[in-house]
């Protein structure tokens, strides 16, 4: 797996340059360092460390260092990055002081049984919080999820952090969202009891290098279909509304929330610009493979309002100065360019 482009890394550094002094000579511990979020955290950390001569170190937790070295040797072998073997629920604590801890483990991408998902999210978060206490961390970042809001109503068009909805506790499919709610509660409890700041990033949907094209992410599947020459297949009726933030913007937002976010105050992370699934497929087609067929599995029911999963990011914009820097069409092209040659790319 190749590195992300220097253009993307430079974009992240330019937007976060003034923040990195906080970790000069320090050590950072990251869980989930081998996943989509984690790879971007490692890529951007290593670049900033090299460019700014920070003399910082990052230790990433992984169940299989060997597999990660095969996946991303440029990261596994970087002199400022180390790998620590273990499961997030019960890993042995590495020795020494770590000034910052980022818990980016346990995304929703793995198809696991609900109880295992819930246990991994909750027990993993508690284990990492216990480590943050033991290692003397000053700041702790939890990558939470918009799934904590549960099934969103058609209105309002986007969901703010103050929305009081929640997943259905009678539905086993709520295990991920309920687990993240419990993880946020644990952060609040630990912050009250211990002398470190907990930061919470409620993450929505994303695209970019390192996003798998063979998982349940619609945009990744559409890019895969376009690169294969089509058709681009939509499994449902194409009406749900989503939004997609490019990975370099994601990295900017996560580092900014870790360094500058208000402790105990959650921030939605994502694009506020909605697009229907059918509209997304069309956008992928126009940018990567003009003219290929877009196939929709079933017709829309005109009596059912489309579902929405779009964040209101006013808080992040107003308090932290964050914004969407990479538009969707550019995000699609950059994702495809990293994964492989485009098919009849639009000019």
Residues 214, 10: Cα–Cα separation, whole Å = 28
Residues 237, 174: Cα–Cα separation, whole Å = 23
Specify if 224 maps to a domain: no
The answer to whether the beta carbons of residues 100 and 138 sit under 8 Å apart is yes
Nearest alpha carbon to residue 149 among 323, 304, 270, 36: 270
Specify if 297 maps to a domain: no
Nearest alpha carbon to residue 126 among 59, 198, 204, 28: 198
Residue 11 in tokens: 């974009």
The whole-number pLDDT of residue 63 equals 92
Residue 117 in tokens: 């998902």
* Secondary structure (3-state) at 151: coil
Specify if 201 maps to a domain: yes
The answer to whether the beta carbons of residues 296 and 238 sit under 8 Å apart is yes
Specify if 249 maps to a domain: yes
* Secondary structure (3-state) at 6: helix
Q: How far is CA 286 from the centre of its chain?
A: 26
Specify if 18 maps to a domain: yes
The whole-number pLDDT of residue 124 equals 97
Using CB atoms within 10 Å of the CB of residue 70, give its burial: 0 to 12 exposed, 13 to 18 middle, 19+ buried: exposed
Specify if 190 maps to a domain: yes
* Secondary structure (3-state) at 148: helix
* Predicted structure pTM score: 0.95
The answer to whether the beta carbons of residues 43 and 51 sit under 8 Å apart is no
Strands across the sheet containing 266-269:
81-85, 57-62, 27-31, 100-103, 139-145, 197-203, 266-269
The answer to whether the beta carbons of residues 243 and 206 sit under 8 Å apart is no
* Domain extent at residue 191: 6-207+245-270+311-326
Specify if 289 maps to a domain: no
The answer to whether the beta carbons of residues 187 and 225 sit under 8 Å apart is no
Helices (H), the chain: 6-16, 36-52, 65-71, 73-76, 114-134, 175-193, 218-227, 247-260, 277-288, 314-320, 328-339
Using CB atoms within 10 Å of the CB of residue 229, give its burial: 0 to 12 exposed, 13 to 18 middle, 19+ buried: exposed
Q: What is the pLDDT along the chain (347 residues), one digit of tens a residue?
A: 789 999 999 999 999 999 999 999 999 999 999 899 999 999 999 999 999 999 999 999 999 999 999 999 999 999 999 999 999 999 999 999 999 999 998 655 557 899 999 999 999 999 999 999 999 999 999 999 999 999 998 888 899 999 999 999 999 999 999 999 999 999 999 999 998 999 999 999 999 999 999 888 999 999 999 999 999 999 999 999 999 999 999 999 999 999 999 999 999 999 999 999 999 999 999 999 999 999 999 999 999 999 999 999 999 999 999 999 999 999 999 999 999 864 444 43
The whole-number pLDDT of residue 107 equals 58
Specify if 259 maps to a domain: yes
DSSP track, 239-257: --EE--EEHHHHHHHHHHH
Residue 98 in tokens: 């770590």
Residues 269, 250: Cα–Cα separation, whole Å = 7
Domain tally, the chain:
1
CATH code of residue 253: 3.40.50.720
């Amino acid at each position: 797996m190749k590195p992300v482009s220097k253009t993307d890394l430079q974009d992240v550094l330019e937007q976060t340059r003034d923040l990195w002094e906080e970790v000069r000579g320090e050590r950072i511990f990251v869980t989930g360092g081998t996943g989509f979020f984690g790879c971007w955290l490692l890529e951007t950390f290593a670049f900033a460390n090299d460019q700014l001569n920070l003399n910082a170190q990052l230790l990433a937790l992984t169940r299989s260092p060997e597999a990660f070295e095969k996946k991303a040797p440029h990261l596994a072998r970087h002199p400022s990055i180390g790998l620590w073997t273990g499961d997030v629920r019960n890993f042995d604590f590495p020795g020494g002081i770590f000034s910052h801890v980022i818990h980016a483990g346990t995304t929703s991408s793995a198809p696991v049984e609900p109880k295992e998902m819930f246990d991994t999210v909750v027990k993993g978060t508690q284990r990492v919080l216990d480590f943050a206490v033991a290692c003397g961390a000053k700041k702790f970042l939890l990558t939470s999820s918009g799934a904590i809001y549960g099934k969103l109503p058609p209105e309002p068009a986007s969901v703010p952090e103050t929305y009081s909805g929640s997943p259905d506790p009678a539905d086993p499919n709520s295990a991920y969202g309920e687990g993240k709610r419990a993880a946020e509660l644990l952060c609040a409890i630990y912050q009250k009891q211990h002398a470190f700041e907990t930061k919470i990033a409620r993450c929505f949907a994303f695209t970019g290098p390192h996003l798998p094209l063979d998982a349940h992410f619609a945009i990744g599947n559409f890019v895969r279909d376009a690169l294969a020459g089509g058709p681009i297949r939509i499994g449902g009726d194409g009406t749900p509304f989503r939004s997609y933030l490019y990975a370099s913007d994601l990295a900017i937002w996560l580092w900014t929330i870790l360094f500058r976010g208000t402790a105990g105050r959650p921030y939605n992370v994502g694009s506020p610009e909605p697009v229907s699934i059918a509209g997304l497929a069309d956008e992928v087609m126009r940018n990567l493979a003009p003219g290929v067929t877009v196939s929709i599995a079933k017709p829309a029911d005109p009596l059912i309002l489309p579902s929405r999963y779009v964040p209101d990011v006013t808080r992040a914009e107003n308090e932290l100065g964050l914004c969407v820097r990479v538009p969707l069409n550019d995000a699609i092209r950059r994702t495809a360019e990293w994964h492989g040659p485009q098919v009849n790319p639009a000019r």
